[in-house]
Amino acid sequence: MLRDFKDAPEKAKRIFMMLQELFEEQNINPHPLNYYIWYSYYKGDNPKFRQEMDRVLNDPFGYNDRIGKRLYEEYLEDQDNSDNQFDSAFKRLIGLMIQKMNLWSDRLEEHTKELDACATSLSGDPLNAEELKKLTNSVLSTANSMQQSTAEFQKELLESTKEVQDLRQQLIEARAEIMQDELTQVGNRKAFNNAIEELTTEAMQAPQTLCLIMTDIDHFKRFNDTFGHLVGDSVLRYFANVMKKGKQENETICRYGGEEFAILLANSSLEAAKARAEAVRSGIESAQLKRANSEQTLGKITASFGISVYQGPKESVESFIKRADDALYLAKDQGRNQVKTELDIPVKPA
């Protein structure tokens, strides 16, 4: 029913990534119904449901599985999702799970009635041996049937839960795919935009710990014009691999556009960023690349680098990027194949 969600709406992907953490933090059972309830809540296209959910969350007792089932039946069961295949498929899974829950509840009620009947027989007139044997067999049969029904329901619930877990994993993979540059296998421009927004927000209290390196390959157009775009693509992949080779956990590497790349360093310093840029610069300079199936060398490959340090709430993300870009172009203007920081940029006269 839920198999391939590469084409799931972007908003759905963001919500599921958030729910994964939320469920763990608030100890919410990660079964399909709860995913659908909270997905619908954060999606926000059912005002009445959202208002009731807000009321539940403000209640001292908060949210639980029983309330989730009630909310689904009152606000979401009859909601039309025909215009969204993702939501429709998800809702069909939830509907199937609700049917299984109701079936299991009906069976449990039947078993309870049978046991009540047995209890009534025991409280009446004394039973002879044959009657007691029949009653004992009836109790055992009912107990076994209850156990079997419960096991079947647990199995079905686990299967439904696994479908949502598979969905969550597919969404994680799809998100990674969407955020990755196909050629170089580093983050793409979208990944960079998301990362710099998140990291600047996190660094508000300690802005000097966030650094940005902007870099691009010197005279890259010459490679394309001389050797062709396929060779140019190989040079870009090699450059990305040089950056990935020394990647630390606090780094985000992205292709900013064309032959330009960016490295965001959290919990770092200008000195550390400069050392990292210098390591990449020397790494690409020492490369001895040759054309495929040929001894023809591509010549010396170099790159230039510009670095800025985040200044906190007083500046915009655009300003943060521009200062790194300005330092990069200063490196270009002063001969290329070097690292410049924002401190090297001449101060313009007032």
Q: Are residues 75 and 18 in the same domain?
A: yes
Q: Which residues does the annotation mark as catalytic?
A: 259
Residue with tokens 């007792």, as numbered in its chain: 61
Q: Are residues 36 and 56 in the same domain?
A: yes
Average pLDDT, the chain: 79
Q: Are residues 172 and 276 in the same domain?
A: no
Q: What is the pLDDT of residues 319-339, one digit of tens each?
A: 999 999 999 999 999 999 999
Q: What is the pLDDT of residues 16-59, one digit of tens each?
A: 666 767 777 778 877 667 777 887 887 777 888 888 988 888 88
Q: Are residues 211 and 303 in the same domain?
A: yes
Q: Is the pLDDT of residue 102 over 90?
A: no
**CATH number (domain holding residue 291):** 3.30.70.270
DSSP strand pairing (251-257 vs 260-265): antiparallel
Number of domains forming the structure of the chain: 2
Looking at 178, 197, 214, the residue that finishes a domain is 178
Look at residue 220 and tell me if it is in a domain: yes
In this structure, of 55-69, 234-248, 328-342, the range with the lowest mean pLDDT score is 55-69
In degrees, to the nearest 5, what angle opens at C-alpha 206 toward C-alphas 200 and 210? 50
What does the block give as tokens for 21? 């953490």
Contact of 307 with 324, CB cutoff 8 Å = yes
Report field, pTM of the whole predicted structure over 0.95: no
Q: Are residues 203 and 276 in the same domain?
A: yes
Mean pLDDT of 148-164: 61
Mean pLDDT of 259-264: 96
Better-scored residue on pLDDT, 275 or 297: 275
DSSP strand pairing (211-217 vs 260-265): antiparallel
Look at residue 214 and tell me if it is in a domain: yes
Q: Are residues 227 and 291 in the same domain?
A: yes
* pLDDT score recorded for residue 162: 63
In degrees, to the nearest 5, what angle opens at C-alpha 134 toward C-alphas 133 and 140? 90
Contact of 344 with 327, CB cutoff 8 Å = yes
Q: What is the pLDDT of residues 174-195, one digit of tens each?
A: 555 678 888 999 999 988 998 8
Mean pLDDT of 251-258: 93
* pLDDT score recorded for residue 282: 95
Q: Is the pLDDT of residue 293 over 80?
A: no
